[in-house]
Amino acid sequence: MKNLLIVGIILTSHAISAQELSFNPSASNGRIENTVTHTGPVYTFTTSDQLLDIPGELNKIDINAIRRHTLGDEVAKRMHLFEQTYTYMSNPLPGSFAGKLVIQKPEIYNGIQKLGKIVARQEKKGIISREQAISDLSRYLDVALLLFYEDTAAFEEELKKTSGDDALVGLFQRVKLI
C-alpha cells in the first residue's frame, strides 16, 4: 500500500511538470512568464473625448485626500476616479441613518476590482515588472472609465460568463477604443 502511494505521488508530480511545460515552455528556466494569448471577439467602442477628460480629472485629485495604492500615486488617482464614477451613495431610507452604496455597471466594477488584485499579485510574485503592472492597471482603469458612458450590454454579459484570471485579463485586453 505504501509503495502504491509513493508511485502515485511520483506519477502525479511528473504529470504536473509536463503540463506546466506544455502550457508554458519558458517555465523550464525557473521563471514563469505569461505566454497565454487571448482569443475571442474584440469589443470595439466609439468614445467621445468630451465625455471624460481623464488627465484633467486626475490633475484635480488631491493625493492626500484619497487612499494609497500599492502601485503608486497615479494608480491611486485613477482608482479613486474609477470609484467616484462607478459608485454613489443613495439617500437613506426611512428608519435608516446611512445611505446605501450603489454600484453602477457592477460587472465592470467587480471585474476591475479583480484585475487590480490580479495585477498586484503578478507584480508581487515577480511575473511582471512594477512598470508593467502600473501600465496594465492604468490601461484597464482608463478603459473602464471610458466604458461607463457607453452601451456595454454585450461586454457585461461576457464578463458574467468569464471565470479565471487569464480569461478576465484577456477580455479587457480585447477592448478596442476608437
**Whether residue 52 sits in one domain with residue 110:** yes
**Whether residue 77 sits in one domain with residue 18:** no
**Whether residue 141 sits in one domain with residue 61:** yes
- C-beta of residue 143 within 8 angstroms of C-beta of residue 175: yes
**Whether residue 65 sits in one domain with residue 3:** no
- Which residue carries 480569461 as its cell? 167
Per-residue confidence band for 158, with pLDDT thresholds at 50, 70 and 90? very high
**Whether residue 86 sits in one domain with residue 29:** no
**Whether residue 29 sits in one domain with residue 86:** no
**Whether residue 45 sits in one domain with residue 25:** no
| pLDDT value for 119 | 94
- C-beta of residue 178 within 8 angstroms of C-beta of residue 44: yes
In whole angstroms, give the CA distance from residue 103 to residue 76: 19
Distant-in-sequence, close-in-space partners of 12: CB < 8 Å, separation ≥ 6: none
Q: 3-class SS at 93?
A: coil
Q: 3-class SS at 35?
A: coil
Per-residue confidence band for 21, with pLDDT thresholds at 50, 70 and 90? very low
Task: Give the whole-number percent of the chain exceeding pLDDT 90.
Answer: 41
Between 21 and 67, the more confident residue is: 67
Which residues are bridge partners to 51 per DSSP? none
Which residues are bridge partners to 102 per DSSP? 88
For residue 1, pLDDT over 70 is answered with no
| pLDDT value for 18 | 37
Integer-rounded Cα radius of gyration of the chain: 21
**Whether residue 84 sits in one domain with residue 8:** no
For residue 167, pLDDT over 70 is answered with yes
C-alpha cell at 146: 471610458
**Whether residue 17 sits in one domain with residue 78:** no
Between 160 and 57, the more confident residue is: 160
Q: What is the mean pLDDT of residues 129-158?
A: 92
Per-residue confidence band for 144, with pLDDT thresholds at 50, 70 and 90? very high
**Whether residue 27 sits in one domain with residue 49:** no
| pLDDT value for 48 | 62
- DSSP 8-state secondary structure symbol assigned to residue 41: -
Q: Please state the domain count of the chain.
A: 2
Provide the CB-side half-sphere exposure for 118 (13 A, CA): 19
| pLDDT value for 65 | 86
Which residues are bridge partners to 101 per DSSP? 89
**Whether residue 89 sits in one domain with residue 23:** no
**Whether residue 127 sits in one domain with residue 59:** yes
Identify the domain containing residue 61 by its residue range.
Answer: 40-177
In whole angstroms, give the CA distance from residue 112 to residue 79: 9
For residue 112, give the nearest of 161, 177, 171 by alpha carbon.
Answer: 171
For residue 6, pLDDT over 60 is answered with no
pLDDT per residue as tens digits for the range 84-133: 999 999 998 888 888 888 999 999 999 999 999 999 999 999 999 999 99
C-alpha cell at 111: 471585474
